[in-house]
Amino acid sequence: MANLLERLPENVPGDFFVDSTCIDCDTCSQLAPASFHDHGEQCSVYQQPETEAETRLALMALVACPTGSIGTNEKHDVHIGIDAFPSLIEDNVYFCGFTAESSFGAWSYLVVRPENEGGNVLIDSPRFATQLVKRIERMGGVRRMFLTHRDDIADHERFFAKFGCERIMHAADGGRRLRIERIIEGEEEVRLDDDLVVIPTPGHTRGHMLLLYKNKFLFTGDHLAWSPERQTLTAFPSVAWYSWAEQTRSMAKLLDYDFQWVLPGHGDIHHDDAANMHNYLESCIAWMKTRR
Ligand code: SF4
């Protein structure tokens, strides 16, 4: 619950505000960019929501915030934000909202499929919030839980206990220690079924992996995201915990795949056709080679 007494001075006057507990995960600025921005070390409200649509997005940001750092002076129906999640991205792919502080506000996603097509897949772990869990249950539960890397696993044990899902994680990120059901090893791609391909991409962590769904949706964890400043795909050298050189090398593997959506844990989502994505990826790799 945000504290009015801790309201950041960078907020513009008015209803919505961010307090000093913000951890600068950028979820609010990505979800409701008309109202929130990153002013440096934290986020704040730079323009109060005016329309119904802007207010709805601000309430979604309030719900999605991992630290409960967003508050309002006026009363709102918070269910507007709660009921918006999981929020449809395209086709049968959803953003879960309800990010977890233990994953530093990383975004998680849900692929909804009939049981005879392999069932639902949860990519990384949202907060185990009752309202979200009930919604996911009504949407068919979780058959598989794909964990891109060790930083974004949050409440995976509680989702496993609730849904009995098969969790998938790389050995090099501690999958065995965490008693994960399906351990991936090495760097070869692993096909989970006709539509799901696991692509190991060491760099951010040693056991980082991506998941490609239907050659369209690429779930990228902390490996790859969109740069609104440079208007191309990018990676983050300052958080290449394992090896930037390895991340650059494993990024090049993605040139062999088609995808139209980049859906990261941290950083901006992007959608474009496969040819443009390929070009952006090439520019990203060229840029990575200039960095150390
Ligand atoms: S979502 Fe919450 S923690 Fe993340 S940047 Fe916004 S206010 Fe800060």
* Residue 289, pLDDT score: 96
Q: Which two tokens stand for residue 103?
A: 């994953």
Summarised one tens digit per residue, pLDDT across range 85-112 is 999 999 999 999 999 999 999 999 999 9
Ligand 1 centroid–CA 22 distance in Å is 5
Q: Which two tokens stand for residue 86?
A: 């999981």
Distance CA 20, CA 29 (A): 16
Summarised one tens digit per residue, pLDDT across range 221-268 is 999 999 999 999 999 999 999 999 999 999 999 999 999 999 999 999
Ligand 1 centroid–CA 78 distance in Å is 17
* Residue 1, pLDDT score: 83
Q: Is the pLDDT of residue 292 over 80?
A: no
Distance CA 213, CA 237 (A): 26
Ligand 1 centroid–CA 111 distance in Å is 25
Higher pLDDT, 1 or 187: 187
To test the pocket of ligand 1, the residue of 59, 67, 101 to mutate (highest count of ligand atoms within 8 Å of its CB) is 67
Distance CA 292, CA 290 (A): 7
Q: Is the pLDDT of residue 269 over 90?
A: yes
Of the chain, the percentage scoring pLDDT greater than 90 comes to: 99
**Ligand 1 closest atom vs CA 70:** 7
Buried/exposed code over 4-32 (b: 16+ C-beta within 10 A; e: otherwise) = eeebbebbeeeebbbbebbbbbbbbbbbb
* Residue 255, pLDDT score: 98
The alpha-helical segments, DSSP class H, found in 41-102 are 52-64, 79-82
Residue nearest to atom 1 of ligand 1 (CA): 65
Summarised one tens digit per residue, pLDDT across range 60-81 is 999 999 999 999 999 999 999 9
Ligand 1 centroid–CA 104 distance in Å is 10
Residue nearest to atom 8 of ligand 1 (CA): 22
**Mean pLDDT, rounded, of the chain:** 97
* Residue 256, pLDDT score: 98
Summarised one tens digit per residue, pLDDT across range 116-159 is 999 999 999 999 999 999 999 999 999 999 999 999 999 999 99
To test the pocket of ligand 1, the residue of 20, 24, 45, 127 to mutate (highest count of ligand atoms within 8 Å of its CB) is 24
Ligand 1 centroid–CA 229 distance in Å is 20
Nearest-10 crossing angle of helices 156-163, 130-138: 40
* Residue 257, pLDDT score: 98
Distance CA 241, CA 33 (A): 29
Ligand 1 centroid–CA 41 distance in Å is 11
Element (H, E) at 144: strand 144-146
The alpha-helical segments, DSSP class H, found in 97-223 are 130-138, 156-163
Residue nearest to atom 4 of ligand 1 (CA): 25
Pocket residues: Cβ below 6 A from ligand 1: 18, 22-28, 43, 65-67, 69-70, 105
Q: Which two tokens stand for residue 104?
A: 């530093």
Q: Which two tokens stand for residue 119?
A: 């069932």
* Residue 46, pLDDT score: 98
